[in-house]
Amino acid sequence: MAIAARIVELGRSAEPSAEIEVLARVGASALTRFANGAIHQNVAEDVRHVSVRVALDGRPARCTLDGPPDDDAVQALLWRALEAARARTPDPDWPGLAGALPALPVDHWDAATAEAEPAARAMQVAGFVRAADGLETAGYCSTDASAVAYANTNGQQLLGRSTVAVVDGIARTGTSDGSARAASVSLGSLDGAVLGAEAARRARDAADPVDLDPGRYEVVLGPACVADVLGFLYRYGFNAQAVEERRSFVRLGERQFDDRITLRDDVTDPGQAGVAFDAEGTPKTPLTLVHAGTTVEVLYTRRTAAKARVRSTGHAPETGEEWGGLVANGVLGAGDRTADELVAGVGRGLLVTDFHYTRILDPRTEVVTGLTRNGVWLVEDGRMRRSVRNLRFTQSYVDALAPGAVVAVGADRQLVTDPDGAEPFLVPSLHLRSWNFSGGARG
Amino acid sequence: MFDVATAAVEAALAAGARYADARAMEQRSETMHARNGVVDRLDRGERAGVGVRALIASSWGFFAVPDLSVGAARKAGTRAADVARSSGLAPGLPTELAPEPPSVASWASACLEDPWSVSLAEKGDLLEGVTRTMLEHGADVAEAQERVWETRKWFVSSEGHRIDQHVRECGAAMNATAVGETETQRRSYPGIRGQYGTRGWELVRELDLAANAARIAEEARALLSADACPSLEATDLILGSEQMALQIHESVGHAVELDRILGWEAAFAGTSWLDLARLGSLRFGSDLMHVTADATLPGALGSFGYDDEGTPAHPVDIVRGGTWVGVLSGRDSAARIGQPSGGAVRAEAFDRIPMVRMTNVGLLPGDSSLEEMIAATDDGILMDTNRSWSIDDRRLNFQFGCEMGWEIRHGRRTRMLRNPTYTGISPRFWGSLDMLGNRSEWTFWGTPNCGKGQPQQIGHTGHPAVPARFRGVRVGVRG
């Protein structure tokens, strides 16, 4: 906090009329990557990042520094930000800075993870590789720790810290891949050997796949696929900017989803990750976006909130603000079925664990194309009959969760994140009535 | 600054590395974005630090610190060796480096008008002005953006490399979105990602955003009422050069990255359908297909003097007369297949490990023109400007969408088509290439957002491209 507050005071002295906010992030980030059963890329870095946004007479500009925040560097950073703000054109939509409001008590932190040595990550990897029992393996183990401080000239001051550890990998037979992953605040709670064994089992189960005709099938989507679906719904749908511009599917108060769908955004959930405020110093408020199928809320930044004459929900990213509200802690309500029970409920359909290279075709309809990956299984009469080759799908993600489209929700909720820490989602598997597979991966 | 990089390398060697290299870097960047007549984002960033790579036995270690002091560099070198040593808990095949004579050199990209010398007011006026024009001509949402990057780096290796480079890049983009009752339509100029190069602000002036703002807004509006692209199992497909750049990037560029072929990206980006045993004999496409990776092209976004292992930029043949003949490689990957480095290893910043990246991967021009292709097509579809892109983890099955299509009948454009998409299998698709645009249509498209690696790195790549015609392509895939 000291550095953020110090920069605000320096700025106030230099330009008393300026609105100034500072976001400072200090930490360590490391990722141990393996392929062909061996560690081939192993990286670590110290992180020292300072972001200063100033506004002069409604002309905002942001300057950032990745480097030591010594006095000279900080003075230069402030000077550049003030210079840029003076030179730019006015912004009539500038909403001003956040006021002083406390954030909720959130501490997704594990000291051992923050201090994890390279050997700790390498041992997770070695465990994964050994447990795959001779199958080729690939993946990564990462640890990230950051302390974040925010201060502004309105008196808002916030501190937060967060750790995240991930083990994510695949095992490969000559004809198939199988995946397993886990993410947590604590590296110590992850077990690379358990995950390696699971990936190997799935890879062997997926061996010698056959072609399946494209078409509409029931599906059971694993947590990674469900997180992908939510990612698109968040970015293009539950984003107040998209709503304001009529590019979103969202219609507040309408039953747009199956009544089995309840979606919250909640950084306070014990299974989530991250800090309790956004890049504008707005405390994150636990929100219900969808309640029993009815869309009830969207995500705001200060800019989009001002336009809608509401309060920001605390979802402003540090950069890329032209995208609107993005920073998410999605939590999809869990059901009461195990993953096996979801499969047992399928008449004739497919079990899919992973998607690959999903891209949106139209934001309004949320039609997305992508492919399956790391194992697809044909399920008939509740039994996994055999593995099939990867399929391409072209599917509206909104339609997939529409009223009547969700057969069952799993109890197997899992934190799904990526090594860059974007948008952690806490999600279960879903059994959906229909999914449009538009082609085989072989054409 | 060479002292900083040298200190990092010496510390890594002292800590047990048998090879080490380091990049001391200073980078600054600018992003200005306007929406509906107002600049809603102005960001300027500065990054400075050193990244060290250490090789111990068969294992690499990398450590980066945002600090350009000699003391911090020494600590980073030691930490890189520690990281490499831990990699030995899961060791792999012996790591060798393809021989590369140590260069002592300096290189800078050409820049006629320094982008930093152009005032923020002028940039803001440009972006706000074109977005207002788009609104006046039918857009519901109008966006425009300019970006500038400047990189100075000092590279030192334990083999004696000592290279400094100064690269300036910039470019711009704009798009108009029209919102209908059930869907949105978008037109971009000059392409979905804009246009970027290793050039100065002259590139942005040449784009002439103002002259194209009204047109794309009107086209976006017109697309809302256009007929949908028909679903056809096979038709003749003509692609404009911007979409060809994407086609090359996704289905050729990534497929020929040697790290993918060797399985180093298997869990994330994926592998490749290409089999090294068939390098030099595998048919990738038709006889018209000549693809090179050439980091020496002046002004292209993937150009540089030396890659991040100190290998001089040089052209590499990738596909010659339809036959796959080359890969994108670095010193360690090339050594695995007994070849010299392709000079294609780069890092996004000081805090990212250098890895195989595309340089300027593009098609050499042919002898037709877009208008000749249209005139020679009895029944087909013309598509241009990328809108969506998805390809499988072996870079074999793709489905791409464009912003706008045109039906071609009896050698003429007839009706506009919305939501045009096409799908194919890479060698089959490239094998159907039968007409290729000429040198006058050759454009060095720049892609500033190529994601790869974990942690992810955003790479800048170039793609020389011309319009092209393909036969018997499936189009109009729907959700």
Q: Say what the ipTM of the complex is.
A: 0.94
> Does residue B390 belong to the interface with chain A, where contact is any CB pair within 8 Å?
yes
> Does residue B423 belong to the interface with chain A, where contact is any CB pair within 8 Å?
yes
Q: What does each C-alpha distance from A437 to A307, A369, B194 come to in angstroms? A: 40, 9, 32
Of B83, B263, B454, which is closest to A419 when you measure between CB atoms? B454
Q: Helices in A309-366 by DSSP H: which ranges?
A: 339-344
Q: What does each C-alpha distance from B67 to A27, A431, B1 come to in angstroms? A: 14, 50, 12
Of all residues in chain B, the one with the smallest CA distance to A324 is: B40
Of B89, B119, B264, which is closest to A119 when you measure between CB atoms? B89
Of B44, B262, B388, which is closest to A361 when you measure between CB atoms? B388
Question: Residue A371 and residue B397: Cβ atoms within 8 Å?
Answer: yes
For the purposes of burial, counting CB atoms within 10 Å of the CB of B367, is it exposed (0-12), middle (13-18) or buried (19 or more)? exposed
Best of A32, A39, A358 to disrupt the B interface (most B CBs within 10 Å) is A39
Question: Residue B59 and residue A443: Cβ atoms within 8 Å?
Answer: no
Q: Which domains, ranges and CATH numbers included, belong to chain A?
A: 2-203 (3.30.2290.10), 209-440 (no CATH)
Check the CA dihedral B198-B201-B203-B204 and report its sign.
positive
pLDDT of A421 > 60? The answer is no
Question: Residue A371 and residue B89: Cβ atoms within 8 Å?
Answer: no
Looking at residue A240, the DSSP 8-state letter turns out to be H
Reported confidence tier of residue A320, pLDDT bands at 50, 70, 90 = confident
Q: For residue A64, which residues of chain B lie inside 8 Å, CB to CB?
A: 43-46
Total number of residues shown for chain A: 443
Question: If DSSP codes are grouped into helix, strand and coil, which group holds residue A123?
Answer: helix
Among the listed residues A403, A401, A341, A337, the one whose alpha carbon sits nearest the alpha carbon of residue A368: A401
Of A45, A121, A371, which is closest to B392 when you measure between CB atoms? A371
Q: At what angle do helices B70-87 and A118-131 cross, to 10 degrees?
A: 20
Q: Are B191 and B174 in contact (CB under 8 A)?
A: no
Q: Which domains, ranges and CATH numbers included, belong to chain B?
A: 2-224 (3.30.2290.10), 229-475 (no CATH)
Looking at residue A417, the DSSP 8-state letter turns out to be -
Question: Residue A247 and residue B128: Cβ atoms within 8 Å?
Answer: no
Reported confidence tier of residue A278, pLDDT bands at 50, 70, 90 = very high
Question: Residue A41 and residue B60: Cβ atoms within 8 Å?
Answer: yes
Question: If DSSP codes are grouped into helix, strand and coil, which group holds residue A412?
Answer: coil
Q: Tell me whether the omega of the peptide bond preceding residue B190 falls within 30 degrees of 0, making it cis.
A: yes
- At B134, the amino acid letter reads M
> Does residue B70 belong to the interface with chain A, where contact is any CB pair within 8 Å?
no
Mean pLDDT, consecutive 10-residue stretches, chain B (479 aa), reads 98 98 98 96 96 96 97 98 96 94 97 97 97 98 98 98 98 98 96 97 98 98 98 97 98 98 96 98 98 98 98 98 98 97 98 98 98 98 96 94 98 97 96 98 97 95 98 89
Q: For residue A170, which residues of chain B lie inside 8 Å, CB to CB?
A: 266-267
Which H or E run includes A327? Answer: none
pLDDT of A414 > 90? The answer is yes
Reported confidence tier of residue A440, pLDDT bands at 50, 70, 90 = confident
Of A60, A365, A373, which is closest to B183 when you measure between CB atoms? A365
Task: Report d(CA A164, CA A162) in Å as an integer.
Answer: 7
Q: Are A340 and A328 in contact (CB under 8 A)?
A: no
Of B265, B352, B479, which is closest to A436 when you measure between CB atoms? B479
Residue B436: what pLDDT? Answer: 98
Residue B217: what pLDDT? Answer: 98
Residue B437: what pLDDT? Answer: 98
Question: Residue B93 and residue A43: Cβ atoms within 8 Å?
Answer: no
Looking at residue A280, the DSSP 8-state letter turns out to be T
A336 to chain B nearest CA, in Å? 31
Question: Residue B266 and residue A172: Cβ atoms within 8 Å?
Answer: yes
Of all residues in chain A, the one with the smallest CA distance to B49 is: A67
Reported confidence tier of residue A42, pLDDT bands at 50, 70, 90 = very high
Question: Residue A420 and residue B456: Cβ atoms within 8 Å?
Answer: yes
Task: Report d(CA A336, CA A346) in Å as an integer.
Answer: 16
Q: What does each C-alpha distance from B425 to A43, A297, B68, B182, B271 come to in angstroms? A: 36, 42, 48, 31, 15
Task: Report d(CA A347, CA B299) in Å as an integer.
Answer: 58
Q: Tell me whether the omega of the peptide bond preceding residue B455 falls within 30 degrees of 0, making it cis.
A: yes
A359-401 tens-digit pLDDT: 999 899 999 999 999 999 999 999 999 999 999 999 999 999 9
Which H or E run includes A60? Answer: strand A59-66
Q: Are B18 and B42 in contact (CB under 8 A)?
A: no
Average pLDDT over residues A275-293: 96
Q: What is the CA radius of gyration of chain A?
A: 23
A300-317 tens-digit pLDDT: 999 999 999 999 999 998
